[in-house]
Amino acid sequence: MKVTWYGHSAFRIEAAGANILIDPFLSGNPSWDGGWEGPAEGVTHVLLTHGHADHLGDSLAILKKTGAMLVANFEVCMYLVGQGVGQDKINPGNHGGTVDCGGFTTTFVQARHSSSFPLDDGTNVYLGNPAGLVLHFPQEKTLYHMGDTDIFGDMALIEELHHPAIGIVPIGDRFTMGGAVAALACRRYFNFETVVPCHYASFPIIDQSAEKFVAGMKGSRTSVLVPERGKTVEL
């Protein structure tokens, strides 16, 4: 499995013959200046944890350009259909549901957050339940992108049900867990082989480094990977 981080919560996952973008906030991302065209090359799936602008990002442009499958909650899927995404290209789900993505499956799990998108008239459209996404591959490690979330006790059930080996974990504080709490979540509830921190070092009002998370994970058997933006690593 190949994993590339583009800053904030945007990742590309290459596994099981699929090229997956998760939360492709690329244009306008303060921590990424490489545009969306390169990360979107050959993309087969776009997965969205929720509807905030810093997660929907360039999804619409990418979906129209590539014809990729959209995997998201029902409200996000239908909102993007209304913006021009083909209804035959969506694969909606919601908490507790698992959808077949062709070569892998995605399970929607709880995330403690919110989900909406700003409209031109100054209002916001509600975009359903925020989620974490658990990706199961037949011959690869299971990956859990937590989305934007706080710690919650039912993380123990996610571990029991799915046993994810790789965790993508928000650590930036203010809108998600901070680094110390994120480390507590990983150590108390999961048996990750590798954790990758995200949702930091982008906007100035959230934490600018992974130091608190790295410090909180010291002594754990879990490996902490703090990747460089745009650099692909193999897990």
148: in domain: yes
What the block records as the tokens of 190 is: 């999961």
pLDDT band at residue 133 using 50, 70 and 90 as cut-offs: very high
Mean pLDDT calculated for residue range 37-48: 98
3-state DSSP assignment of residue 88: helix
- In terms of Cβ atoms closer than 10 Å to its own Cβ (0-12, 13-18, 19+), residue 1 is middle
Structure-token match 């937590």, residue found: 146
pLDDT band at residue 110 using 50, 70 and 90 as cut-offs: very high
DSSP per residue, 1-54:
-EEEE-STT-EEEEETTEEEEES---TT-TT--S-STTTTTT--EEE-S---HH
pLDDT band at residue 222 using 50, 70 and 90 as cut-offs: very high
CATH of the domain at 25: 3.60.15.10
106: in domain: yes
231: in domain: no
The Cα-based distances of 156 to 142, 161, 167, 171, 198 in angstroms read: 16, 9, 14, 19, 21
What the block records as the tokens of 94 is: 């919601």
Of all residues in the chain, the percent with pLDDT exceeding 70 is: 100
Pairing of strands 143-145, 131-136: antiparallel
72: in domain: yes
215: in domain: yes
What the block records as the tokens of 128 is: 């359903």
135: in domain: yes
pLDDT band at residue 115 using 50, 70 and 90 as cut-offs: very high
Buried (b) or exposed (e) across 199-214, using 16+ Cβ within 10 A? bbbbbeebbeebebbe
DSSP per residue, 177-216:
-BHHHHHHHHHHH---SEEEEES-SSSTTS-S-SHHHHHH
235: in domain: no
Overall domain count for the chain: 1
pLDDT band at residue 210 using 50, 70 and 90 as cut-offs: very high
pLDDT band at residue 16 using 50, 70 and 90 as cut-offs: very high
191: in domain: yes
Q: Which domain holds residue 170?
A: 2-226
